[in-house]
């Protein structure tokens, strides 16, 4: 766990130098993780790879400087690839810029009005169901890229066409068979490296090694496969929207798409930030500041004609594990992406598209976390597990927004048994032996922003007593929040006593 706790400005010069070195090395690790993901997510979104690289640059240089979560890394996310693919398919690439600018503006306004905490109140069952559905769509879509082909318009069409791809293979090693072989090499090297890599190279990402292996193989053998196409000058990839492009915002369905991007990007960002906070003991996330920073980033991405961005957990966890201590690491990773695409675009053009598809297949498969569904069923009962399954299914067979909205609607069912006493009072008192937090009422997701704010506001090292004696019920959203907070508090050496209540509340003791 990263143990940095003091602000860099307050540190002595020798500590600043030491931290700067750690941030420098961490930024290189994040850059190596980000490069194949930025390009692969762009391909999965139905746009050219450089669009993802521009988003990665903006996420590092701009959002990294403004972020409310200093160690979180922002860039193109697999969670938005599906919705962007559908937008580009239905509205055209020129519509993406204005839609994304509106989505960014919505995020900025939401941050100004301090709505960041409410995104954390979304049921974990909905969030993980959404991510699992996205993972399924990415796998069945990118499966076709492994054969040097393009994904079909819908998830069900992609699924139906998968057997035909396999049955159409021949021993003649034509273009499709060669591309598949390179994809399998990428996956094999990627997974093998992650399992058996030397300890000294543990921070080198498997995705990078897999892409390098297939690229070198394709180059050495002169294989005729589709490769990445990037412009000689990255500035040429920036496509400013013209004045006429904004007329599309008069379409109600387009406005709805902008709200969908803003909602999903914000939820994914803030939940990722909460996960990053659990990985280190440094500065906690300011959720509203993070939301405003993401909005500014998406405004700029829309103006540049790039992909939308979110805070991304894979790159963020790599940043923390590599020893990052300040936002400098996130900012520098944007510098490295910019330098690489500006100076070495010819190297990117040697990468087989099938290799990027292979990276996305592995990434998508990892989003389908059945263990979380088992955890929901075992610890919280049938309803949360059903919410997870319904959200996943609707994301795949209908669309992302429908799945999320239905999942949120089903979450409301958890409120029915407590309808007469939904209000939660959180009473805080300070005594000689420490702080006491007493919960009075039902701890449901409606009360999560208030509860989270009170928990995070407690002094870091003071002993804490949490009184559940007047808490009538607790849903799985608040339960997960409390478990994470207690685990983090106790891991940092804080003394926490839990008393009162029964059933699920007794598990916190």
Q: What is the CATH number of domain 422-508?
A: 3.30.750.24
Asked if 155 and 136 touch (Cβ cutoff 8 Å), the reply is yes
Tens digit of each residue's pLDDT (9 = 90 or more) over 37-90 = 999 999 889 999 999 999 999 999 999 999 999 999 999 988 898 889 989 988
Tokens for 171?
Answer: 């021993």
Tokens for 107?
Answer: 């995020």
Report the chain's mean pLDDT, rounded to a whole number: 88
The 3-class SS string of 74-129 reads: EECCHHHHHHHHHHHHHHCHHHHHHHHHHHHHHHHHHHHCCCHHHHCCCCHHHHHH
Tens digit of each residue's pLDDT (9 = 90 or more) over 460-502 = 778 999 999 898 888 888 998 898 888 888 877 888 988 876 6
Is residue 101's pLDDT more than 90?
Answer: yes
Give the pLDDT confidence score for residue 453 in this predicted structure: 87
Give the pLDDT confidence score for residue 417 in this predicted structure: 79
Is residue 418's pLDDT more than 80?
Answer: no
16 pLDDT band, cuts 50/70/90, is low
Instruction: Give the pLDDT mean for 433-457.
Output: 88
Tokens for 12?
Answer: 């002595």
Give the pLDDT confidence score for residue 12 in this predicted structure: 55
Distance of CA 123 to the CA centre of its chain: 16
Tokens for 462?
Answer: 């003071």
Residue 258 and residue 419: Cα distance in Å, rounded? 33
> Of 158-167, 185-194, 236-245, 305-314, which gets the smallest average pLDDT?
236-245
Tens digit of each residue's pLDDT (9 = 90 or more) over 465-474 = 999 989 888 8
Is residue 508's pLDDT more than 70?
Answer: no
Spell out the domain ranges in the chain.
Answer: 12-354, 422-508
- Residue 7 dihedral angles phi and psi, to the nearest 5°: -65, 150
Tens digit of each residue's pLDDT (9 = 90 or more) over 116-158 = 888 878 888 998 898 899 889 989 999 999 998 888 877 888 8
Asked if 189 and 213 touch (Cβ cutoff 8 Å), the reply is yes
Asked if 336 and 33 touch (Cβ cutoff 8 Å), the reply is no
254 pLDDT band, cuts 50/70/90, is confident
- Residue 496 dihedral angles phi and psi, to the nearest 5°: -130, 130
Instruction: Give the pLDDT mean for 15-30.
Output: 79
Tens digit of each residue's pLDDT (9 = 90 or more) over 201-235 = 888 889 999 999 999 999 999 999 999 888 888 88
Q: Considering the entire predicted model, what is its pTM? A: 0.85
Distance of CA 267 to the CA centre of its chain: 9
Q: How far is CA 229 from CA 345, 401, 436, in A?
A: 9, 31, 60
Burial track 59-75 (b if 16+ CB lie within 10 A, e otherwise): bbbbbbebbbbbbbbbb
Instruction: Give the pLDDT mean for 280-304.
Output: 92
Give the pLDDT confidence score for residue 4 in this predicted structure: 44
Is residue 10's pLDDT more than 60?
Answer: no
1 pLDDT band, cuts 50/70/90, is very low
- Coil, strand or helix: which one is 457? coil
């Amino acid at each position: 766990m990263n143990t940095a706790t003091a602000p860099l400005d307050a540190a002595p010069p020798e500590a600043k130098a030491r931290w700067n070195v750690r941030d420098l090395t961490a930024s290189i690790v994040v850059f190596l993780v980000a490069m194949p993901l930025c390009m692969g997510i762009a391909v999965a979104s139905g746009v050219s790879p450089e669009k993802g690289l521009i988003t990665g640059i903006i996420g590092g240089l701009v959002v990294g400087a403004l972020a409310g979560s200093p160690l979180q890394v922002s860039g193109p996310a697999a969670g938005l690839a599906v919705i962007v693919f559908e937008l580009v398919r239905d509205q055209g690439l020129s519509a993406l810029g204005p839609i994304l600018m509106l989505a960014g503006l919505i995020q900025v306004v939401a941050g100004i009005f301090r709505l960041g905490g409410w995104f954390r109140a979304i049921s974990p069952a909905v969030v993980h169901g959404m991510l699992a559905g996205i993972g399924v769509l990415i796998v069945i879509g990118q499966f076709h890229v492994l054969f040097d082909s393009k994904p079909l318009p819908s998830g069900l069409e992609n699924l139906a066409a998968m057997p035909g791809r396999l049955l159409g293979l021949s021993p003649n090693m034509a273009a499709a068979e060669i591309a598949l072989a390179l994809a399998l090499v990428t996956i094999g090297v990627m997974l093998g490296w992650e399992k058996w890599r030397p300890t000294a190279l543990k921070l080198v990402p498997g995705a990078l090694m897999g892409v390098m292996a297939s690229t070198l193989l394709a180059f050495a053998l002169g294989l005729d496969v589709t490769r990445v196409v990037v412009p000689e000058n990255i500035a040429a990839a920036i496509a400013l929207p013209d004045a006429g492009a904004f007329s599309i915002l008069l379409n109600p369905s387009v406005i709805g798409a902008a709200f969908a991007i803003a909602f999903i990007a914000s939820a994914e960002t803030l939940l990722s930030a909460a996960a990053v906070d659990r990985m280190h003991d440094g500065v906690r996330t300011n959720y509203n500041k993070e939301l405003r920073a993401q909005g500014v980033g998406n405004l700029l991405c829309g103006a540049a004609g790039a992909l939308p961005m979110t805070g991304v957990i894979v790159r963020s966890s790599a940043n923390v594990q590599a020893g990052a201590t300040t936002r400098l690491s996130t900012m520098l990773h944007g510098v490295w992406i910019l330098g690489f695409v500006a100076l070495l675009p010819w190297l990117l053009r040697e990468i087989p598209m099938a290799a990027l598809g292979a990276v996305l297949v592995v990434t998508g498969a990892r989003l389908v976390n059945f263990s979380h569904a088992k955890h929901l069923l075992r610890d919280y009962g049938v309803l949360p597990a059903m919410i997870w399954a319904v959200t996943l299914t609707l994301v795949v067979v209908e669309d992302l927004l429908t799945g999320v909205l239905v999942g949120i609607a089903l979450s409301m069912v958890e409120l029915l048994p407590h309808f007469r006493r939904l209000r939660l009072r959180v009473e805080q008192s300070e005594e000689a032996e420490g702080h006491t937090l007493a919960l009075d009422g039902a701890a449901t997701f409606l009360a999560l922003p208030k509860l989270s704010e009170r928990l995070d506001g407690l002094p870091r090292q003071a002993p804490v007593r949490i009184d559940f004696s007047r808490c009538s019920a607790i849903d799985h959203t608040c339960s997960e929040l409390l478990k994470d907070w207690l685990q983090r508090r106790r891991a940092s050496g804080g003394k926490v006593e839990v008393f009162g209540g029964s059933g699920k509340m007794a598990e916190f003791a």
